[in-house]
């Protein structure tokens, strides 16, 4: 009897630990030149890119079995859940003295954003960059925040929100025929609707770091000045986002003009699937979109060994960010990885916007990623002709080097806005020559 009970408990434990997946969805890749086969199990299907489809089905397991040896099918992949976990919460602002004095901003609480400090003071030289302008006409850059939604009515965000100009708000019609009705500020794949209003402070905080309105005499300022935030609610309040929702979000963002996607989420398992990586490659190559992802908060875990996704994916169109502290060191919670982590940025005690016209601190690599996204967006606004790889390389090549970071991340340093702009200006001709060469090679391969 005891043996039977032990066996039952072990079996239950195995099933309990098995990664969960959506039972009514399946990614299907058909062979080149083939169409998606008909099946009674398929309720509907959506062409994604290349030979990839997302299928709604009566049973993902049954369809997977049916297509296993089908002559038209290259592969199938399940849509897994990330797993539930607690997102960073709003912390009480702790003052280390008077507000910092940043001459570039009149926003009353901008002095709480320590990341604006110069490199010597462990910031990313935001104030210095704006006090040393290139005097060029900057292009507006769309940054998609794929997160818990955004409070698009916030006093410091409402004027920097992306608005779909091809959609008439509230008329219940898909005016631009993109498959979404009234997608004015973005979409909400979680609820299969188009209202990405914040359900948690996380996405609103991320958005303020990137692009809170500058010099409006209200609240704080964001890192970037010529940005519109596209709101995409993909992450539930306790995480647990799905592969299908991530893929849909990334595709929507790129197809609607986002040159950058901030991805402050992740999971510890992948089950061998590569559809998210393929999506990042697709939007990078075809839309010039760079995905910026948080390295994760697993207490200095090496994500070259203990893989985390999407941060550990091999895509060239993905930039992964670790978190630093006010004293310039690596945050105690931040993951590392000489191969899979690219750069570091302020991520401890980051002051930004919260829902309901609020403001507060949060900590995590989730906060370091949008600092980097803001730096990349501001750089791109100066040099909009940069493709995703050139942009990533420019940010990495211009970091403030930190000796202790050399074995922990690829670039071995902290991002720096001022240095990124000056570096790109000084090396512009060679950057563009390398970019042209890459484009020619791609064309030859096609």
Q: Tell me if residue 376 falls in helix, strand or coil.
A: helix
Please spell the DSSP secondary structure of 226-283, one letter per residue: SEEEEEEE-S-BTB--BHHHHHHHHHHHHHTTEEEEEE---BS--TT--HHHHHHHHH
The count of C-alpha atoms lying within 13 angstroms of the C-alpha of 409, restricted to the half-sphere facing its C-beta, is 33
Distance (Å) of CA 65 to CA 61, 69, 405: 6, 8, 47
For residue 135, give the nearest of 374, 379, 382 by alpha carbon.
382
DSSP 329: S
Burial 122-144 (b: 16+ CB within 10 A, else e): bbbbbbbbbeeeeeeebeebbbb
For residue 294, give the nearest of 355, 362, 361 by alpha carbon.
362
β-bridge mates for residue 30, sequence order:
73
**Cβ distance 125 to 214 under 8 Å?**
no
Q: Any residues with CB less than 8 A from the CB of 192 and at least 6 apart, and which?
A: none
For residue 417, give the nearest of 395, 393, 397 by alpha carbon.
395
Token pair 């969805």 is at which residue? 25
DSSP 58: S
For residue 316, give the nearest of 412, 438, 421 by alpha carbon.
438
Q: Any residues with CB less than 8 A from the CB of 115 and at least 6 apart, and which?
A: 123, 124, 126, 209, 223, 345, 346, 350, 371
For residue 237, give the nearest of 47, 24, 84, 50 by alpha carbon.
84
Catalytic residue among 117, 122, 127, 147: 147
24 is annotated as an active-site residue: no
| Dihedral-angle region of residue 376 (phi above 0 means left; psi in -120 to 50 means alpha; beta otherwise) | alpha
Catalytic residue among 125, 315, 366, 398: 366
Q: Any residues with CB less than 8 A from the CB of 418 and at least 6 apart, and which?
A: 118, 119, 125, 126, 128, 129, 132
122 is annotated as an active-site residue: no
β-bridge mates for residue 56, sequence order:
25, 44
Q: Any residues with CB less than 8 A from the CB of 429 and at least 6 apart, and which?
A: none
Catalytic residue among 122, 154, 200, 202: 202
DSSP 197: -
282 is annotated as an active-site residue: no
Which residues are catalytically annotated?
147, 202, 366
């Amino acid at each position: 009897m005891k043996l039977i009970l032990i066996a039952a408990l072990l079996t239950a434990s195995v099933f309990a630990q098995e990664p969960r997946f959506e039972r009514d969805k399946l990614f299907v890749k058909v062979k080149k030149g083939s169409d998606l086969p008909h099946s009674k199990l398929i309720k509907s299907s959506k062409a994604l890119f290349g030979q990839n489809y997302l299928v709604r089905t009566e049973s993902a397991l049954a369809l997977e079995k049916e297509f296993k040896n089908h002559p038209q099918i290259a592969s199938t992949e399940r849509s897994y859940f990330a797993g539930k976990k607690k997102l960073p919460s709003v912390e009480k602002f702790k003052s280390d003295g008077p507000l910092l004095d940043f001459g570039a901003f009149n926003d009353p609480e901008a002095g709480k954003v320590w990341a604006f400090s110069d490199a010597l003071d462990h910031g990313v030289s935001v104030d210095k960059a704006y006090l040393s302008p290139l005097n060029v006409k900057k292009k507006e850059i769309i940054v998609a925040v794929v997160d818990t939604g955004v409070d698009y009515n916030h006093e410091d965000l409402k004027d920097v929100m992306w608005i779909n100009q091809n959609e008439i708000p509230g008329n219940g019609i898909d005016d631009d025929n993109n498959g979404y009705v009234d997608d004015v500020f973005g979409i909400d794949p979680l609820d299969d609707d188009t209202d990405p209003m914040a359900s948690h402070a996380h996405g609103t905080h991320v958005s303020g770091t990137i692009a809170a309105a500058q010099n409006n005499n209200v609240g704080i300022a964001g890192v970037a000045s010529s940005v519109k935030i596209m709101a995409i609610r993909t992450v539930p309040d306790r995480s647990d986002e799905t592969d299908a929702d991530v893929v849909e979000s990334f595709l929507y963002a790129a197809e609607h003009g986002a040159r950058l996607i901030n991805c402050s989420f992740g999971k510890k398992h992948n089950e061998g699937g590569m559809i998210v990586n393929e999506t990042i490659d697709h939007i990078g190559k075809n839309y010039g979109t760079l995905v910026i992802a948080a390295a994760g908060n697993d207490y200095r875990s090496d994500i070259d060994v203990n893989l985390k996704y999407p941060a550990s994916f091999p895509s060239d169109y993905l930039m992964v960010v670790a978190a630093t502290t006010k004293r310039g060191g690596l945050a105690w919670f931040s993951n590392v990885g000489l191969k899979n982590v690219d750069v570091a940025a302020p991520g401890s005690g980051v002051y930004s916007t919260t829902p309901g016209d609020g403001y507060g601190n949060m900590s995590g690599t989730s906060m370091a990623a949008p600092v980097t996204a803001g730096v990349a967006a501001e750089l791109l606004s100066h040099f909009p002709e940069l493709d995703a790889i050139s942009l990533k390389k420019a940010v990495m090549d211009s970091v403030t080097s930190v000796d202790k970071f050399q074995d922990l991340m690829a670039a071995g340093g902290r991002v720096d806005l001022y240095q990124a702009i000056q570096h790109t200006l000084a090396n512009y001709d060679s950057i563009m020559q390398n970019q042209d060469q890459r484009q020619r090679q791609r064309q030859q391969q096609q």
